[in-house]
Amino acid sequence: MKLERKGEIKMSKVIALTGNQAAAFAMRQIEPDVVAAYPITPQTEIVMTFAQFVADGRVATEMIPVESEHSALSACVGASASGARTMTATSSQGLALMWEIAYIAAATRLPIVMPVVNRTLSAPINIHCDHSDTMGARDSGWIQIYCENNQEVYENIIMAVRIAEHEEILLPVMVCQDGFITSHAVEGVRIYDDRKVKDFIGEYKIPHSLLDVDNPVTYGPLDLPDYYFEHKRQESFAIKNSLLAIPQVFSEFKKHFGVEYDFIETYRLDDADVAIVALSSTAGTTKVVVDELRREGKKVGLLKPRFFRPFPKEKIVQALKGLGACAILDRSESLSGQGGPLFIEIRSILLDESRKPLTLNYIYGLGGRDINTEEIKAVYRDLENIVREKKVRNLVNYLGVR
């Protein structure tokens, strides 16, 4: 019989938490077997808060302090391959230092869950938010979830465990939130009963453990042209299959906690003429603008993708097809000259559609520069002009740059 721990949450309640603390609370309730991590601004508070839970005896997690993020993810790979439920957390240059191991974790099909606090990549050195870190890792094989607010951070981390460990997926998951904007901002977060969370995530049973001496396996073998191609194809299938498997987790989450999730969220989009597409906290700011403009009689809306990997093509196409024009906002620069990562993906999936809006891209907020409601209103005005003229004059635009 499991003993009750001091501070156990026995019924859901609303607590004032930063986004980082919300992540740590979810980790406490998940109680992973192993957490290996290294601090980096603005993620440090996640590991610091969770380490306090370990020190206070509120979790039985093996906490591994390491000398770098490369070592953190390396330790996670070893722990996960042995059968341990494993988590870490990082940001910016820390994720960049994990780069080599990020690909190994995904290709080895290890269900590691990693909260990532989005921060720009140097140089110049900058500790504030943009999405260049995770967008740089978008093709590493990790599932990517982007959170608008602290409540989503908390709930998505809990769901991420079930997603990563789903037998038809078995891929690592990044749960992303905006550095300082949500990571250090305090909001009311509904925290669920500890036992309900434990019941939802269940026990992790690895199909092939390094510690199973009766059924020996090899992880990370040399894979020459005779098999490498097939193994990468299997990884690709896992991402594709996740589009079918993840809704099962959404359904179970709703059954347990009464909260509905999907790959995307639409806001006042059903009868909209124009819309903005935005990830993470900017979606929340855009909702405020949508409400203001609706009171003025303007038919504007918002599409917020929650998942960037897997990319929910069909849902995005369906959501946008009735619009006259839409602006895709990117908080990262792909340096391709063709726009940001989100814009490039959406423009690509709309290419063969007979009914599609005129699209244009706004790159914004690099290095943590704020985006305000007046700038978002200006984007909607641009969209109205595009619908009126039936023409996009500038495909890629920079919003809020001098």
Note the pLDDT tens digit of each residue in 377-399: 999 999 999 999 999 999 999 99
* Residue 249: burial class (beta carbons within 10 Å; 0-12, 13-18, 19+): buried
pTM (2 d.p.): 0.97
Residue 46 Cα distances to 22, 112, 183, 316, 322, angstroms: 8, 16, 9, 32, 41
DSSP label at 4? P
**Cα 173 off chain centre by:** 8
List, for residues 119-164, the tens digit of each pLDDT value: 999 999 999 999 999 999 999 999 999 999 999 999 999 999 999 9
Look at strands 307-309 and 264-267 and give their pairing.
Answer: unpaired
Torsion, CA 120, CA 282, CA 111, CA 256, rounded to 10: 160
The number of C-alpha atoms within 13 Å of 209 and in the hemisphere containing its C-beta is 12
Answer whether 13-257 and 264-399 agree in fold: yes
DSSP assignment of 30-50 equals H--SEEEE---TTTHHHHHHH
Tell me the domain boundaries of the chain: 13-257, 264-399
Topology (CATH level 3) of domain 13-257:
Rossmann fold (3.40.50)
Would you give per-residue pLDDT tens digits along the chain (402 residues)? Answer: 344 566 788 888 999 999 999 999 999 999 999 999 999 999 999 999 999 999 999 999 999 999 999 999 999 999 999 999 999 999 999 999 999 999 999 999 999 999 999 999 999 999 999 999 999 999 999 999 999 999 999 999 999 999 999 999 999 999 999 999 999 999 999 999 999 999 999 999 998 999 999 999 999 889 999 999 999 999 999 999 999 999 999 999 999 999 999 999 999 999 999 999 999 999 999 999 999 999 999 999 999 999 999 999 999 999 999 999 999 999 999 999 999 999 999 999 999 999 999 999 999 999 999 999 999 999 999 999 999 999 999 999 999 999
> For 264-399, CATH number?
3.40.50.920
Is the bond into 39 cis (omega within 30 degrees of 0)?
no
